[in-house]
Amino acid sequence: MAQLTIKDIAKICNVGVSTVSRAINNEPGISDKTKERIMQVVQEFNYIPNNSARNLKMVESNTIALIVTGIDNVFFQSMFGEFEVELRKHGFDYLLHAVSWQEDVVTVATELMKEKRLKGMILLGGQMERPEERLDALGIPYVLCTVAHSSEHPLPNCPWVGIDDELEGYNAVSYLINKGHRDIALVAGQRYDNAVSAQRLAGYRRALAEHGIPYREELVHFTDPQMTDFSPENGYVGAKELIASGVSFTAMFCMSDLITLGAYKALDEAGVRVPKDCSVIGFDGIELSKYMCPGLTTMYQPRVDMVKSSVELLMKEVGADNGPVHKIYEATLIERDSVITREE
């Protein structure tokens, strides 16, 4: 955003230039309401008057932005308040900004940085390939939290916090196999996804292979391209189509807890009892999972720890350049009532 002038402020507030000047200089002659409105605009755009008080100059703010790709993701939503608390502990203002899947996150981050004079930013969710090549050019500290990288590229050469999706997908399916299940259905994301869904699928396949169980395409449901990947709708449609196909399975791995919400409904409508007829395991460990009936067994992501690590890494970046740090957390298996041991 270009440097704001008194004329710009006047236009925004629908007042004269002289009125803006009086408000900036705390001079009499204008109402308290008008003055308050003018100063709100000044503060909103992170501008202060220069010494002559004849124009406004943009200054660096004390704001950290949380830039979220996937604002409707319940797992991410559970982290927003934690980010605000942690950032305010360090004396920073907090700005939440949503980015759609169609937008280029680096372009959005660049514009937001210019507009708000950010002190730093945390990027939450989405997928980026070699992000450091573009983000470093912004010239402000940043950290990536649960930003996916593809199987073709290693972790980025910048601060990153998250889990190993391939490993945790492997752990989830291995748990089902150790419970005696061999015919394990999978409700996945997009077929050609090369990030989170692809890595959890790779974990599913590795677990099968290590236990001598062949991979069967008919047991895997990929999301319709017009549908949100990790959503109840995907789970409902996926489970219905798996049931309708006539393929036999005794367990189901859903790539998110929200997917299991829809899958539960489809299984119930078909008269398939959880866990007696079909064991189900989810992923994320969202609060809702404990209230599902039966209680959902799931792979819990330590969201509070990930938030704290993201902020701590950013504080190091704000203070000094200590080089990239990768903080990889382990998911924790939470056993509830949706999985049983299959008797031979």
Q: Is 264 inside a domain boundary?
A: yes
Is residue 335 assigned to a domain?
no
Residue 344 in domain:
no
Task: Of 34-43, 94-103, 147-156, give the lowest mean pLDDT range.
Answer: 147-156
Q: Are 214 and 244 in contact (CB under 8 A)?
A: no
Q: Is 334 part of any domain?
A: no
3-state secondary structure 241-290: HHHHCCCCCCEEEECCHHHHHHHHHHHHHCCCCCCCCCEEEEEECCHHHH
Say whether both 142 and 154 belong to one domain: yes
- Segment 181-197 shows an average pLDDT of 91
- The verdict on 39 and 107 lying in the same domain is no
Contacts with 232 (C-beta within 8 Å, 6 or more apart), sequence order: 258, 259, 261, 262, 265
pTM: 0.78
Query: Computed from CA positions of residues 268, 270, 273, 274, in that sequence, does the dihedral angle turn out positive or negative?
Result: negative
pLDDT of amino acid 51: 42
Looking at the structure, do residues 147 and 236 belong to the same domain, yes or no? no
Distance of CA 22 to the CA centre of its chain: 45
Final residue of a structural domain among 38, 58, 78: 58
Q: Is 147 contained in some domain? A: yes
Residues contacting 218, CB < 8 A, separation 6+: 245, 247
Query: Does residue 94 sit in the same domain as residue 126?
Result: yes
Identify whether residues 76 and 149 lie together within a single domain: yes
Tell me the sheet residues that pair with 333: 299
| Same domain assignment for residues 306 and 296 | no
Q: Quote the Cα angle for 230-231-237, to 5°.
A: 110
Judgement on whether residues 136 and 72 belong to the same structural domain of the protein: yes
Chain segment 224-252, per-residue pLDDT in tens:
988 888 899 999 999 999 999 999 999 99
| Same domain? 120 vs 222 | no
- The CATH number assigned to the domain holding 28 equals 1.10.260.40
Domain match, 294 and 245 both: yes
Q: Are residues 16 and 45 in the same domain?
A: yes
> Containing domain of residue 28, as a range?
6-58
CATH number of domain containing 122? 3.40.50.2300
Percent of the chain with pLDDT over 90: 60
Residues 109 and 16 in one domain: no
Q: Is residue 181 part of a domain?
A: yes
Residue 141 lies in a domain: yes
**Alpha-carbon span 75 to 331, nearest angstrom:** 14
Distance separating alpha carbons of residues 14 and 4, to the nearest angstrom? 15
Q: What is the pLDDT of residue 49?
A: 55
Q: What confidence tier does 56 reach under pLDDT thresholds 50, 70, 90?
A: very low
Strand ranges (E), the chain: 47-49, 56-58, 63-69, 93-99, 120-124, 142-145, 160-163, 184-190, 220-223, 251-254, 279-284, 297-300, 326-329, 332-334
Q: Does residue 79 form part of some domain?
A: yes
What total number of domains does the chain contain? Answer: 3
Same domain, 185 and 285: yes
Q: What tens digit of pLDDT does each residue of 269-317 get?
A: 999 999 999 999 999 999 999 999 999 999 999 999 999 999 999 998 8
